[in-house]
Amino acid sequence: MAPPPTLARREREILDILYRRGRATAAEVMEELGSDRSYSTVRAQLRVLEQKGHVRHQVDGTRYVYLPAVPRHAARRSALRHMVETFFDGSREQVVAALLGDAASLSDEELDRIAQLVDKAREEGR
């Protein structure tokens, strides 16, 4: 089960780095974030992410190496579920309508794939 999507923007940035890299030390995360955060701030944010269940660590000599605690697809589903509940009152239809409201930016191939996904959902629902 994915942890609840209770992430601040800066926590999401750190988690994104860990998903992209697969694993990283606090110093490596800090390097990717840029100079706006101190090492101690990054370490504190990694500890908070670990307490929330989003991150885990392994000890490598004197260093902690941080890894995502759940697969990216599970975190993605959890975040999407939270977004649907928060911004669309739980309505998947409203989400799709919002996405298709900008249909001019979708290619014919993308629209065809979306139509195939809808067809597949109908078949699986029966």
Q: What is the pLDDT of residues 23-73, one digit of tens each?
A: 999 999 999 988 778 899 999 999 999 999 999 999 999 999 999 998 888
pLDDT of residue 51: 93
> How many angstroms separate the CA atoms of 19 and 69, rounded?
10
pLDDT in the model for residue 67: 96
Domain boundaries, the chain: 9-68, 72-125
The CA-to-CA distance between both ends of the chain, in Å, stands at 26
> Do residues 57 and 67 lie in contact, with contact meaning Cβ atoms separated by under 8 Å?
yes
> Hey, is 47 helix, strand or coil?
helix
CATH architecture of 9-68: Orthogonal Bundle (1.10)
**Which has more confidence, 2 or 107?**
107
Note the maximum CA span of the chain: 56
| E strand or H helix at 115 | helix 108-125
Residue with tokens 């992430």: 7
The whole model's pTM is what?
A: 0.67
